[in-house]
Chains A and B, each alone.
Chain A
C-alpha cells in the first residue's frame, strides 16, 4: 500500500506488530530497533515490554477508540494511526483535531483504512500528515485533490480560516491570539 507523506509516495519505515506476536519471544519479535505500530489492545497488554524497545512506537486506533481514552500515554508515541473503516465513518476527523489541538500531539498522524483521494483535503485540515492509500492514482491526482479548494472558512488543525467571518485580517489575528 502506498504511503503518502509530505506530498511524496514513500516506503513505510514503520512495521506493524503482528496480532499474535508475543513481544518477548525472540523468534517472531521484530528487531528491537524497528519502529513499531501497535494496537490499543497490544499496548495495554504489553506496555512494559514495548517500552523496553529501542525503536519508536506508534499506536493504531480503531474508529470506536477515542484518543481521549489514553490521553495520558500519548507522550510514548511518535505516530498515531487513526482508522477509517469506511470513508463514511468520520469519527477520526474529530479524533485528529482533538489530538492536535487539545492533547498537543505533534508526532505523525496517519490516516489508514478507506482513505480516498477526495477525503484528503478534509484529513489534512484536521491535522493528518500521512496517508495510507489503497488506490494507485498518480501522485499528481492526489496533489490536485488537496489544492482544488484553497478557500477555508473555518480554523482547524492545519491552521486558521482564510476568509469569511472567522478569517480575514480579524480572524487571523484572533486565531493567533488564541493559540
Chain B
C-alpha cells in the first residue's frame, strides 16, 4: 500500500495548519460565510440541511487497518458514532462541529489521510476499481496511476478553479467496476498491439441532469505521457468550459457542444506542446510507486481448502454468503470478500465505529492489513485465504456485517435524499430500506440474482439512478414525493443510460412497482439471463404492461 514520504506528510500537515487558520478567521468573524465557503469546500467541509458535513478522501478506496481505526475513532469522538461510505470512495461525517474540524483533520493527517479536494471545482479524489490488486482480470493495479494522478492534481495551481468539479476514475481490468465511462475522465488500462501497457482515455461521461456516456478520445496513451495528456485535457476544459451556467459547466457539455472529434483535436494540439516536457513520467518513478502496490506475500496454496468446503457443505447460510459476497482472487487459495453495508432496513453505506473496528481487525488478521471501499458503498477485504473464510464470516455475523446480498436486489445505492439534502425532491434512504424489507427473503434474492437498484432524491443523480438496472428518481409532483422509474441502465463496460418506463409512482406505490418489474423479469428470463439481457431482448413493453395494467 502507498505510504506517505516526508514530502506527502509535510504537504498534508501544512494544509491542516492553513485550514486551522482559516477556521479561526471564520470563527473570529474576519471571514464571511461567503468568503469562507470556497476555503472550507477545498477541505471537504459542506454545509448541509442540519449541520456541517465533512467528507474525507479515501484515495483509490484503499485503507489500512490503522486508518480504518482512525475513521472509527473520529466517528465516535466527533460525530454520532457512525460514518457514511459514499459512492465516491469517500467517508462522510454528518455532524462535526466547525471548531472541531481542524482537530479532525489533524488526527487524519496522523494516518496519512485528509479531506483535500473532496469538494469544490477542482480535480476530486481519484477513484479506482475496488478489486484492485486482487482480481484475476486485472492488467495492472490501477492504484499506481491513481496515486500518480493524486500527486499531480493536489493543489494544482492551474486547475483549482475549474468551471465545475472534475472526477477521474481508473480501472486496470476489462470488466469495469469503476464506472470509467461515467466520469469526466475515465482511464482504462489496456495493451496495444505491441503488448505495451497504456491507457484508453475516455472523456465527458457523467450523470446529473444530463447523463452521458463518455467518449474515447485516445485509444492508447503510453504511460509516460499520462500526466501531460491529462494536463492538456484540463487546460482545454479550463479555458473553454462554460462558466455562465452551472448545469452546462461539466466537461461533458463542452464535449457535446464542441463535438468529440474537434475536442480531441484541441487536446492533441495542446498536448503537442506539453508532451515530452516536465510532466513526462520517468520509468523509475512509475516503478517506485508500483513497488508500494506490489502484491503481498501470498502463500503458495492449492485452489481448494477442505475446511472451507466442509463448512460450505454443512452451513447453508455460510454457503449462501460465499455465493454472493466472495469473488475469485488472482492468487490460488485466496478469495476477495465483499462486506455488505446494506443490511435489511438500514441506510446504505452507514457503518458504526464498532463495525469499522471489526473490519480493521479482520483486515489486520486475514487480509494483509488492507480494506477497500467500493463505489457501491460496500467494503472489501481483498486478500483472504479460503481457509480463513469461516472465521471471517463468523466475526462479520457478530457485527451485523454478513448480509449475503452483494450485487443483489437489496444491495442498493441511495443518495442522502430528503433526510439530509436541501436539494432533494423526495426521500431516498427510506425507499431503499422499504425495498430491502420487501425482498427480505434472502433465498428469493439469490434466485433473482444480480440486479442493481439505484435511487436518487433528485435529478442531480448522486444515487446513480440513470445507470441502475432499475433506476429510481425522486420527483416533485405538486409538493408530493413521486418516483420515476428507469430500466436498462448500466455503469460497467456496457455502460448505458436507463429508459423511463412511464408515469411516476407515489411513495406508497414505488415498492410494489419494483416488485412488479422483478416479477416480469423472472417470468421472461431464459436460462441465467441477466436483467439487462432480458430487457434488451423483450424491450420495455412487457414491463410497462404489467406495471400499468391495474391503472
Q: How far is B39's CA from A116's CA once the two chains are assembled, in angstroms? A: 11
A83–B304 Cα distance when bound, in Å, is 66
The answer on a CB contact under 8 Å between A118 and B39 is yes
Determine if A170 and B282 form an interchain contact, defined as CB atoms under 8 angstroms apart.
Answer: yes
Check if A90 sits within 8 Å of B159, measured CB to CB: yes
Say yes or no: A87 contacts B161, CB within 8 Å.
yes
Interface 9-mer from B13-21, B203-211, B374-382, B466-474: B13-21
B155 nearest in chain A by CB position: A149
Minimum distance in angstroms from A123 CB to a CB of chain B: 8
B238 touches A93 (CB 8 A): yes
Q: Please encode chain B, from 109 to 120, with 1 for each CB lying within 8 Å of some chain A CB and 0 for all others.
A: 000000000000
Q: Chain B contacts of A93 at CB under 8 A? A: 157-161, 238
Q: What 1/0 mask marks residues of chain B from 25 to 69 whose CB sits below 8 Å from any chain A CB?
A: 000000000010011000000000000000000000000000000
Q: Write out the residue numbers on chain B whose beta carbons fall within 8 Å of the beta carbon of A156.
A: 157-158
Distance, CA A155 to CA B156, complexed state (A): 9
Query: Are B157 and A151 in contact, with the CB atoms below 8 A?
Result: no
Q: Is the interface of B mostly helix, strand, loop or mixed?
A: helix
Inter-chain CA distance A164–B17, complex, in Å, is: 21
A149 contacts B285, C-beta separation under 8 Å: no
- A94 smallest CB distance to B (angstroms): 5
User: Which residues 475-495 in B have Cβ within 8 Å of A in the complex?
Assistant: none
B154 at the interface (CB under 8 A from A): yes
Segment 25-53 of A: residues with Cβ below 8 Å from B: none
Residue picked from A66, A153, A168, A175, most chain B C-beta under 10 Å: A153
Size band of the B side of the interface? 35 or more
A178 to B160, CA, bound (A): 25
CB-defined contacts of A90 to chain B, threshold 8 Å: 121, 158-162, 238
Size band of the A side of the interface? 35 or more
B151 within 8 A of A: yes
Is B238 a contact of A91 with CB atoms below 8 Å? yes
- In the assembled complex, the CB of A133 is this many whole angstroms from the nearest CB of chain B, namely 14
Given contacts A93-B238, A153-B151, A174 and B273 within 8 Å (CB-CB):
no
Cβ of A102 under 8 Å from chain B: yes
Nearest Cβ in chain A — how far from B26, in angstroms?
A: 12
Alpha-carbon gap, A174 to B22, bound state (A): 36
The answer to whether the Cβ of A144 comes within 8 Å of any Cβ in the partner chain is: yes
Q: A97 with B18: in contact, given A87-B38, A149-B11, A167-B7 (CB under 8 Å)?
A: no
Task: Give the Cβ gap from A104 to chain B, nearest Cβ, in Å.
Answer: 12
The answer to whether B281 and A165 touch across the interface, beta carbons within 8 angstroms, is yes
Does B284 interact with chain A (Cβ within 8 Å)?
yes
A153–B152 contact, CB under 8 A? Answer: yes
In the complex, A66→B235 CA distance in Å? 12
B-facing residues in A154-169 (Cβ within 8 Å)? 154-157, 160-168
**What 0/1 pattern do residues 199 to 229 of B give for CB contact below 8 A with A?**
0000000000000000000000000000100
Question: How far is A172 from B18 in the complex, measured between Cα atoms in Å?
Answer: 26
Residue A111 at the B interface, CB < 8 A?
A: no
The A/B interface has a contact count, at CB < 8 Å, of 124
A72 close to chain B: CB less than 8 A: no
A59 at interface (Cβ–Cβ under 8 A)? no
Q: Which of B220-248 contact A (CB under 8 A)?
A: 227, 235, 238-239, 243
Cα of A167 to Cα of B22 in the assembled complex, Å: 28
Contact: B156 with A154, CB < 8 Å?
yes
**In whole angstroms, how far apart are the Cα atoms of A49 and B11 in the complex?**
51
For the complex formed, measure the closest distance between the CB of A170 and the CB atoms of chain B, giving whole angstroms. 5
**Residue A20 interfacial (CB < 8 Å):** no
Contact A162 B7 (CB under 8 A): yes
Give the shortest distance, in Å, between A88 (CB) and chain B (any CB). 6
Contacts A93-B161, A154-B152, A165-B151: A178 and B277 contacting too (C-beta < 8 A)? yes
**Residues in A whose Cβ lies below 8 Å from that of B327:** none
Residues of chain A lying within 8 A (CB to CB) of residue B11: 149, 151, 153, 163
CB distance from A146 to the nearest CB of B (A): 11
Q: Are B39 and A89 in contact (CB under 8 A)?
A: no
Taking a contact as CB atoms under 8 Å apart, the answer to whether B21 and A144 are in contact is yes
Chain B residues, CB < 8 A from A116: 35
Query: A-B pairs with the 4 shortest C-beta distances?
Result: A90-B161, A163-B7, A125-B157, A151-B11
A-B contact pairs, 7 of them (CB 8 A): A88-B121, A97-B158, A116-B35, A149-B14, A151-B10, A153-B151, A170-B282
Excluding A122-B160, A165-B148, 18 further A-B contacts by CB distance (< 8 Å) are A87-B38, A90-B158, A91-B238, A93-B157, A93-B160, A94-B158, A94-B238, A102-B273, A125-B157, A149-B11, A149-B15, A150-B10, A153-B154, A154-B279, A165-B151, A165-B289, A171-B282, A178-B280
